[in-house]
Amino acid sequence: MRRPLIVGNWKMNKTASEAAAFIRDLRERVPASPHAEVVLAPPFTAIESARNALGPSSYFSLGAQNVHWETHGAFTGEVSAPMLCDLGCRYVIVGHSERRALFGERDEHIQMKVRAALRHGLSPILCVGESLVHREAGRTESVVTAQLSGTLEGLTTQDLATVTIAYEPVWAIGTGRAATTEQAVTVHRSIRLFMETGWDSKTASAIRILYGGSVTPQNIESLLASDSIDGALVGGACLDPDSFATIIEFAQTARA
C-alpha cells in the first residue's frame, strides 16, 4: 500500500522568521502519524530556519522548490543538490508549471534536474500537467505522457523507487477550480499505465502519484477516497496552518 504524501509548496512566501513561527504553530496542530508523510517546501532562504524550527527527528520532512543540475560553478542565482542535502532537504519539486511557464524550463532541463536529485539522494517530486487549451483539445493524456517520457526516459526501476509524480493540471493551479476526483483519477490511471508500459507493473504500482491544483480542506477527502490518488501537492492552502493541518489530518486517516 502506498503511504499518502502531502507536500506544501510555499512558493515565494514567508521570510525565514515567518517560516519558523509558522512551523511552531503547525507542529502543535499536527500529531505524528505512521499513516501519512508530510513535506514542507519553503523558499531556499527559509530552509535553514525551517529546519531549526522542526528540530531533530521531526515528523515533517523538508523539500526545496527547485534545484540546478550541476553541483557547483558559475550559475548565478542557482542552488545545487548537495547544497540542499546539506540543509537537510530530502525532497525537491521539479518541473512545476510556474517554472515551465515563467522561467522557460523545458523537459530536457527537468530531466537533468531529476537525475541530479537522484545522484545526490534527493527524492524528486516531478510535476506534470496540461493547460486548459490542451484539455479542451482532448490532448491531456498525450501532453502528460510526453512530459513523463521527456523527463523520466532512461531511468532505472531503482531510480524510480524514490520518484514521486504530481499531476497538476495547469488550469487548476491557484485558480480555485480544482479538477474533479474523476478527472484526476482518469489521468492518474493513464500515468500508471505509462509507467507499466515503460518499466514494469511493480514499478507502476509502487510509484506515488499526487494530485495538485486548488486542493483545500473541502475537496481533499473526496480526492483521497480514490486509491489512485496517493496524496496532494498543496499551494495556497498550505500557507494557512489551520487549512494545512486539516488536509494532513485527512491524509493520516485516508489509508490508516
What are the catalytic residues?
Answer: 96, 168
- Residue 196: CB minimum distance to ligand PEP, A: 26
119, 174, 202, 206: residue in contact with ligand PEP (rule CB under 6 A): 174
Encode 61-70: b = buried (16+ Cβ within 10 Å), e = exposed.
bbbbbbbbbe
What is the number of residues in the chain? 256
Select 47 or 128, whichever has its Cβ closest to ligand PEP. 128
Select 107 or 168, whichever has its Cβ closest to ligand PEP. 168
User: If we measure between CA atoms, which residue out of 203, 121, 206, 95 comes closest to residue 156?
Assistant: 203
- Whole-angstrom Cα distance, residue 169 to residue 178? 9
Q: Report the interhelical angle of 241-254 vs 16-29 (nearest 10°).
A: 40
Contact (CB, 8 A) for 171 and 101: no
- Residue 214, interface with ligand PEP (CB under 6 A)? yes
- Whole-angstrom Cα distance, residue 131 to residue 43? 25
- Residue 56: CB minimum distance to ligand PEP, A: 29
- Residue 210, interface with ligand PEP (CB under 6 A)? no
- Residue 130, interface with ligand PEP (CB under 6 A)? no
- Residue 82: CB minimum distance to ligand PEP, A: 25
Q: How far apart are the first and last CA of the chain?
A: 10
- Residue 9, interface with ligand PEP (CB under 6 A)? yes
82, 88, 150, 236: residue in contact with ligand PEP (rule CB under 6 A): 236
- Residue 173, interface with ligand PEP (CB under 6 A)? yes
Select 60 or 167, whichever has its Cβ closest to ligand PEP. 167
- Whole-angstrom Cα distance, residue 26 to residue 50? 11
Select 168 or 249, whichever has its Cβ closest to ligand PEP. 168
- Whole-angstrom Cα distance, residue 142 to residue 140? 6
- Residue 150, interface with ligand PEP (CB under 6 A)? no
209, 215, 229, 247: residue in contact with ligand PEP (rule CB under 6 A): 215
User: Segment near ligand PEP (CB under 6 A), from 99-107, 136-144, 195-203, 234-242?
Assistant: 234-242
Q: Distances in Å between the alpha carbon of 43 and those of 6, 8, 63, 87, 195?
A: 17, 11, 9, 12, 31
- Residue 97: CB minimum distance to ligand PEP, A: 7
Binding interface with ligand PEP (CB under 6 A): 9, 11, 168, 173-174, 212-215, 233-237
